[in-house]
Amino acid sequence: MTKIVVTASLDDAVGEYLDALREVGAQAVRVDATAAPANVLAGAAGLLVTGGVDVAPVRYGAAPSPYVTHAEPERDAFEIALLRAAREYALPTLCICRGIQIANVAFGGTLVADIPAALGERATIRHRATGANGRSERGLIPEHVVRIEPESLLARLVGRTELVTGARHHQSVDRCADDLRVVARTGDGIVEAAEARFASPFWLAVQWHPESTRALDDGASRAVFEGFVAAAETR
């Protein structure tokens, strides 16, 4: 069975990610920053970098931000090392939410510390919806429409150039790393997906959470995982 390494924080629940991979025939192996980066990718066919806490501003040369109150420097360093190694090994890579953010930083880009603060009165789209219980909603947000570049890997995978997705984040890509290219945005300009400019059998980073919406969007989110695992199987 195809082995996919799945990164996470020490206390993160990653069941949805693992389930999404198992549903398309992969063996998911969870790792965290207590592991040695040099050993983690041994025998792996792919790398999945998951969501979680904010990336520390120091990682992309920014001053401390009042909007970044919970960061994990160890995880930042761990995932940056893995992303760079996966590139070197031409390992299929999928990055989700925090994943697109740390990947952009790993290759020299910067981040928006807080979307509502950055957009101010221009904010017209919810990038996080909260339920009556105070928790972030995990389903689709009707106005959160992702507009996808027609010739992109993402468009080929999901079979469309507009996709209603979920969202539960407050940071995003600001200056895109030179080695990546933006392939999707919401109407307010927030980056929602990026792909590699460098050679790779599969490299995709998305801002939303396809693991949570794979039963809600007519197969588009599931197709992301299918394409990722299919590329990993050919290694």
Residue 132 above 60 pLDDT? no
Residue 230 above 60 pLDDT? yes
Domain that holds residue 71: 2-233
Give the span between the Cα atoms of 216 and 210, in whole angstroms. Answer: 10
Q: What integer is the mean pLDDT of 212-231? A: 97
Which sequence positions are flagged as catalytic?
Answer: 97, 209, 211
Residue 179 above 90 pLDDT? yes
pLDDT digits (tens, 9 = 90+) for 182-208: 999 999 999 999 999 999 999 999 999
| Residue 131, pLDDT score | 60
Query: Domain holding 218: CATH number?
Result: 3.40.50.880
Place of tokens 């009042």: 66
DSSP character for 187? T
Residue 10 above 90 pLDDT? no
User: Left, alpha or beta for 64 (phi > 0: left; psi -120 to 50: alpha)?
Assistant: beta
Give the span between the Cα atoms of 64 and 118, in whole angstroms. Answer: 15
| Residue 176, pLDDT score | 98
- What residues contact 28, with CB distance under 8 A and at least 6 apart? 4, 6, 17, 18, 21, 22, 48
14 or 86, higher pLDDT: 86
Q: What is the mean pLDDT of the chain?
A: 92
Give the span between the Cα atoms of 174 and 191, in whole angstroms. Answer: 8
Give the span between the Cα atoms of 111 and 115, in whole angstroms. Answer: 10
| Residue 130, pLDDT score | 65
Q: What integer is the mean pLDDT of 91-110? A: 98
214: confidence class by pLDDT, cuts 50, 70, 90: very high
| Residue 134, pLDDT score | 55
Residue 150 above 90 pLDDT? yes
* Number of folded domains that form the chain: 1
Give this prediction's pTM: 0.95
DSSP character for 180? E
Is 150 strand, coil or helix? coil
* Residue 67 · residue 118 · CB < 8 Å: no
* Residue 120 · residue 126 · CB < 8 Å: no
The two three-digit tokens of residue 109, written as one number: 């880009």
Q: What integer is the mean pLDDT of 95-116? A: 96
Residue 147 above 90 pLDDT? yes
Residue 136 above 70 pLDDT? no
Residue 95 above 80 pLDDT? yes
Residue 60: what residue type?
Answer: Y
Q: What integer is the mean pLDDT of 142-165? A: 96
Query: What angle in degrees, to the nearest 10, is found between the helix axes of 73-88 and 98-106?
Result: 70
pLDDT digits (tens, 9 = 90+) for 62-76: 999 998 888 999 999
DSSP character for 127? S
* Residue 32 · residue 82 · CB < 8 Å: no
| Residue 157, pLDDT score | 98
